[in-house]
Structures are given as structure tokens and as C-alpha cells.
Amino acid sequence: MPARLSREIDAAASPYDGIVVIGGSNDLWKGDESAIWDSLCELYKRVQASSSSAILGMVTLPPFEPAVFDWLSFTGIGQLTETTRLAVNERVREEAGRCPNAFLVDLDALCGTEESCMERPDGLHFTSRGYHRLGEEVASTLQAAHSTRAPDTDLRS
């Protein structure tokens, strides 16, 4: 993911005003919280290095239950994945709270209160309606973050 993000940032005609980072879902099954966190930190640093005024959206990982876990339950992979997801999410929340040019989109909390918020028929990947709901949440949270920023750090129109 860091290489792909770098290519996108470098190819942009002008600096981004904000970048939203969600990542780690595909690696949760490995149970390596540190590797996921290191990758996210690399992404966060790349965003912050791209522009001093860019606002960074940090997104927690929503709960998921891929159907494959049903027949792999004897391996403990479901519990390993969930434990790793919760640990990564806690680190994302802490980092978002410390970072002055960042905002948190807490999909974990949102999905805990809104049953159909993400519409993931396979338990992991969003449907187009799920992505639309994700976009609404990002826009709402970004607007709230933007309204609390000092005037000299306002996003460009």
C-alpha cells in the first residue's frame, strides 16, 4: 500500500487537501498487529510529508465475519483476526487523537451501532451502497474536522 499511495501522491497535479487511509483488513488473518501498524504509520507519514496543510483521515477497521471463518473455526483464526483488529483500531484511535492535522473515522464504532452501515455480503468487502455510506461518514467527519481547524490551516476551496 505505501508504494501505491506514493505513486498517487506523486502523480497528482497539485497537492491533496486531505487523504483518507484505511488499511490492514487483508492482513488481519496473519495476526501481526505490529506489521499492520508499521504499514499504517508509513502511510500516515507519507501523507503528512506530501503537504504541510493536508489533513489525514485515519479509519478504524470495521468488524467482519468472512464466511470462510465458519469452516475454519477450529483453527482459532476468527479470534486471532478479531484480537488483531481491535488492537490495531486502538492504536489508530490513539494516533488520531495525538495528530493535529488528522481526523478519525471510527468504522468500528459506526458498524457497532448501525447494522447495515457497510453492507458486506461476504463479511469483508463493501457493496456500492456500503461504499456510499462510508463516503458519507468520511465527508461528515471531514467537515467536522475542517470546522475546528484554525483559519490559517483551512482547506483550499
**Residue 126: Cβ within 10 Å count:** 17
Give the pLDDT confidence of 76-99 residue by residue, as tens digits: 788 888 899 999 999 999 999 999
How far apart, in whole angstroms, are the C-alpha atoms of residue 63 and residue 111? 7
- Cβ within 8 Å of residue 139, ≥6 positions away: none
Mutual angle of helices 33-50 and 2-11, in 10-degree steps: 10
Order of strands, edge to edge, in the sheet holding 18-21? 18-21, 55-59, 102-105
Least confident of 35-39, 57-61, 118-122: 118-122
- Quick: pLDDT tens for 105-131: 998 887 765 555 566 666 667 778 778
pLDDT given for residue 152 in this prediction: 46
Q: Report which listed range, 17-21, 65-69, 115-119, is most confident.
A: 17-21
Q: Is 156 helix (H, G, I), strand (E, B) or coil?
A: coil
Average pLDDT, the chain: 82
Domains of the chain by residue range: 2-145
Beta-strand runs (E) in 18-110? 18-21, 55-59, 102-105
Output the pLDDT for position 154.
42
Tell me the mean pLDDT in the region 13-22. 86
Q: How far apart are CA 45 and CA 68, in angstroms?
A: 34
Domain 2-145 sits in CATH at 3.40.50.1110
For position 155, what pLDDT does the model report?
A: 41
